[in-house]
Chain A
Amino acid sequence: MTTIEVNGLRKRFGPSVALDGMTFVVQPGRVTGFVGPNGAGKSTTLRMILGLDRPDAGTATIDGRRYADLPCPMRHAGALLDPHALHPARSGRNHLRWLARSQDLPDSRVDEVLNRSGLAAAGRRAAGGYSLGMRQRLGVAAALLGDPPVLLLDEPFNGLDPAGIVWMRDLLRGLAEDGRSVLVSSHLMSELQDMAGHVVVVGHGRVIADAGVNELIGAYSSLEAAYLDLTAGVGGIR
């Protein structure tokens, strides 16, 4: 059972404060929604969990270890950050193959995740021709490659068609039911309401609310209402 622990992250970019003591824990066995206005610090937090940005203060750990210290890190945590981050001339399958090489995983694992993402046919085409939905599927396939106990997904529903949204919802729910820690940043409150067991609401670089979805619905009637009320007056970019 692996948790993500974010503890007192602080980060300044010049005069603007991006993170101001961001603290929360993502528990296994449920989908945790990560919500907040644009510029609230969600993406920066995700990048710091993955060791791509250095915090001025605080720590972010997976199972008690810094991401960068993990050997074969994609076997510990899978991430979907930017679905457009693909070389246009390289096929989706070859994109996964180099990732598999870097984690010492066999090519058979690549074909497994391609099938699971519904890209078995498209995987051999150059990624430059992929729709946003296909890119999201490929990004999820990459995140699942190392069969990690932790998943971090930034706006996974963007660009998916209705069938894709249903697929994604079922996939994430199934992953959480397997006992994984699943952190999903999204602006789609209705999706999260159906799927997430817990939400972390952030604004101004810190946590505003960290509560179960059912508690919030009980207090505010819907997750969307809860979000709008909690983040009222919280501008994004300052």
Chain B
Amino acid sequence: MIMRAEWLKFRTVRSWVLGSAAAALIVVALGCLAATGVTMSCMAGTQEVDCPAPPTDSSGRSVADQFTFVHQALTGNGSITAEVGALDGTITYPPPNHDEIVRGVVPWAKAGLMVKDGTKPGADYAAVMVTGSHGVRMQSGFTHDKAAASDGSWLRLSREGNRITGYVSPDGTAWQKIETVRLDGLPSTVQIGLFVTSPSGLTVEENPQGGHAVSARWTQATAEFSQVSPAGGWSESLVGYSDHRTTWEQTHPPGHTEAGGVFTVAGAGDIGLETEGGLAVERVLTGLFAALLALIVVGVLCGTAEFRHSTIRTTLTAMPRPVRVSAAKAAVVGAVSLVVGLIAVGLTLPVATRLLRANAVVILDVSGPTMLRIALGTALLMALAGVFAYGVGALLRRAVPAVLTVAALLVAPPILAVTSVLPPEVGAWLLRVTPAAAFAIQQSVGAYPQFSRPQTVADGYFPLPPWAGLAVLALWALAAVATATWRLRRSPA
């Protein structure tokens, strides 16, 4: 009965209903408007072409997967062993003067052994490798990374069913296991071999006004593999390279040579999640910030109206249960905001992504569960924002201070942090403790330590994991409603 009464109260104030509808409309309209204004094109030599979509991995994520692979088929169980030496390479025009081409390797240059489900970019793999300056690692699934406990130039990768185990040894006799990973659905015949790749060299230039500029330059790595077992029958694949070669790449082509059992392999590229080659899908939900302001006003007014118009006494005379009344109001605001969010996200994501693709804009793919998390999480974020606004409104009992408080806590921190108005540490701290932590739920690509690019708040990386961030907002909402309920019990008017 209390719920039904509170729901009727909500829907019989037209401005609240219109405000809620406006919130949904803002997300859809701004998302579609932004989508029609974006174009993307790439250069192939002197020719302007539509940008190619990056490959996707088995879970559907856009990935970077470019390396030189010298490989042979392995059917059933087996292993590969090699000594990796003389990791060397070229870095074009590095700082400080950016005026010469130097010898050297970037920190995440990789050379090692790989098991891969074919040679198609994005196919499942596991690899053990030496790196430019991060020691010996075992990596798989584009984001999984484990450092070896000890160093060594001898590497071994063995396959047993779905289980791939990486080993390292200083001398080729005493082997240290790094770890075993499972590659589910690996066929019985896989490609096994030697690989080399080298991501762009990066310089991060701190801007005194906040933020930073990242400049990237082409690099190449070469490595010598010797004592390779099994021997013989190797073929070369240039995995993920585009057909177009810059003049620089023409003089330093990827590939391999073999002389006296020593393989010299050269490669450029990266193996990891793709973040640069397209638009992150959550970007189509940029209207969320403006929509939240509308929802905040509605939520706050639901909390303050009964005090402003003195109807709280009528309410408590009809329903002398302040705790249940407060809970019912929060539930109504939360449910309305959730529906608003579901409609807004449910329309914006398909429509805006379709508009973008029609403009030849590449949208980075995410896995199904990630997509679901972004969609449902954004709707939940709106629901919790409504509840939080209601709670602050009911607690402060005055609309203007309540709207300002909620906006300052929920909407301002991400804008300040991402636009680099605040120092990065302060921004990161704000996005951990304020309700704005919840925006982490929208992050399609999380931070991974083995990525070369900076991953600070200013780059759009949230410090908390998605659901933990949403939980922070939930706690704030709960605290606001609980305090407001406590105040209502103590002094009803």
* Chain A partners chain B: yes
Q: Which residues of B sit under 8 angstroms from A101, Cβ to Cβ?
A: 1, 4-5, 8
In this assembly, does A74 line the interface, its C-beta being within 8 Å of a C-beta of chain B? yes
Cβ proximity bits B255-293 to A, threshold 8 Å, 1 near / 0 not: 000000000000000000000000000000000000000
In this assembly, does B12 line the interface, its C-beta being within 8 Å of a C-beta of chain A? yes
The complex places the Cα of A68 from the Cα of B15 at a distance, in Å, of 33
Q: Which residues of A sit under 8 angstroms from B250, Cβ to Cβ?
A: none
In this assembly, does A84 line the interface, its C-beta being within 8 Å of a C-beta of chain B? yes
* 8 Å CB contact of A52 from B13, B305, B311, B493: B493
* 8 Å CB contact of B5 from A85, A89, A102: A102
Q: Which residues of B sit under 8 angstroms from A74, Cβ to Cβ?
A: 317-318
B1 touches A104 (CB 8 A): yes
- Given that A52-B492, A85-B309, A101-B1 are known contacts, is A90 also in contact with B314, CB under 8 Å in the complex? no
The minimal Cβ–Cβ distance linking B311 to chain A, given in whole angstroms, is 5
In this assembly, does B408 line the interface, its C-beta being within 8 Å of a C-beta of chain A? no
The complex places the Cα of A88 from the Cα of B309 at a distance, in Å, of 8
Q: Which residues of B sit under 8 angstroms from A67, Cβ to Cβ?
A: 320
The complex places the Cα of A84 from the Cα of B312 at a distance, in Å, of 12
A98 touches B9 (CB 8 A): yes
A102 touches B316 (CB 8 A): no
Number of contacting residues on B, CB 8 A?
24
Number of contacting residues on A, CB 8 A?
29
B2 touches A102 (CB 8 A): yes
The minimal Cβ–Cβ distance linking A147 to chain B, given in whole angstroms, is 15
* 8 Å CB contact of A79 from B13, B317, B492: B317
Q: Which residues of B sit under 8 angstroms from A134, Cβ to Cβ?
A: none
A91 touches B1 (CB 8 A): no
| Residue from A67, A73, A87, A104 whose CB has the most chain B CB atoms within 10 Å | A87
In this assembly, does A22 line the interface, its C-beta being within 8 Å of a C-beta of chain B? no
* 8 Å CB contact of B309 from A79, A86, A94, A97: A86
In this assembly, does B404 line the interface, its C-beta being within 8 Å of a C-beta of chain A? no
A51 touches B320 (CB 8 A): yes
A99 touches B314 (CB 8 A): yes
In this assembly, does B313 line the interface, its C-beta being within 8 Å of a C-beta of chain A? yes
Cβ proximity bits B4-30 to A, threshold 8 Å, 1 near / 0 not: 111011001111000000000000000
In this assembly, does A103 line the interface, its C-beta being within 8 Å of a C-beta of chain B? yes
- Given that A85-B309, A87-B309, A101-B1 are known contacts, is A94 also in contact with B317, CB under 8 Å in the complex? no
The minimal Cβ–Cβ distance linking A191 to chain B, given in whole angstroms, is 25
In this assembly, does A82 line the interface, its C-beta being within 8 Å of a C-beta of chain B? yes
Q: Which residues of B sit under 8 angstroms from A47, Cβ to Cβ?
A: 313
* 8 Å CB contact of A99 from B13, B305, B318, B493: B318
The minimal Cβ–Cβ distance linking B382 to chain A, given in whole angstroms, is 23
A82 touches B8 (CB 8 A): no
The complex places the Cα of A104 from the Cα of B8 at a distance, in Å, of 13
In this assembly, does A81 line the interface, its C-beta being within 8 Å of a C-beta of chain B? yes
The complex places the Cα of A74 from the Cα of B6 at a distance, in Å, of 16
Q: Which residues of B sit under 8 angstroms from A99, Cβ to Cβ?
A: 5, 314, 318
Q: Which residues of A sit under 8 angstroms from B305, Cβ to Cβ?
A: 87
B12 touches A97 (CB 8 A): yes
In this assembly, does A182 line the interface, its C-beta being within 8 Å of a C-beta of chain B? no
In this assembly, does B319 line the interface, its C-beta being within 8 Å of a C-beta of chain A? yes
A52 touches B316 (CB 8 A): yes
The complex places the Cα of A51 from the Cα of B493 at a distance, in Å, of 13
Q: Which residues of B sit under 8 angstroms from A87, Cβ to Cβ?
A: 9, 13, 305, 309, 311
A82 touches B318 (CB 8 A): no
Cβ proximity bits B61-92 to A, threshold 8 Å, 1 near / 0 not: 00000000000000000000000000000000
Q: Which residues of B sit under 8 angstroms from A97, Cβ to Cβ?
A: 8, 12
Q: Which residues of B sit under 8 angstroms from A84, Cβ to Cβ?
A: 309-310
- Given that A52-B493, A87-B309 are known contacts, is A73 also in contact with B318, CB under 8 Å in the complex? yes
Q: Which residues of A sit under 8 angstroms from B9, Cβ to Cβ?
A: 87, 90, 98
Q: A86-B311, A94-B12, A142-B314 are in contact. List 13 more A-B contacts (CB 8 A).
A: A52-B316, A52-B493, A81-B317, A85-B310, A87-B9, A89-B14, A91-B12, A98-B5, A98-B8, A98-B12, A99-B318, A102-B4, A102-B319
On B, residues with C-beta under 8 Å from A are 1-2, 4-6, 8-9, 12-15, 305, 309-311, 313-314, 316-320, 492-493
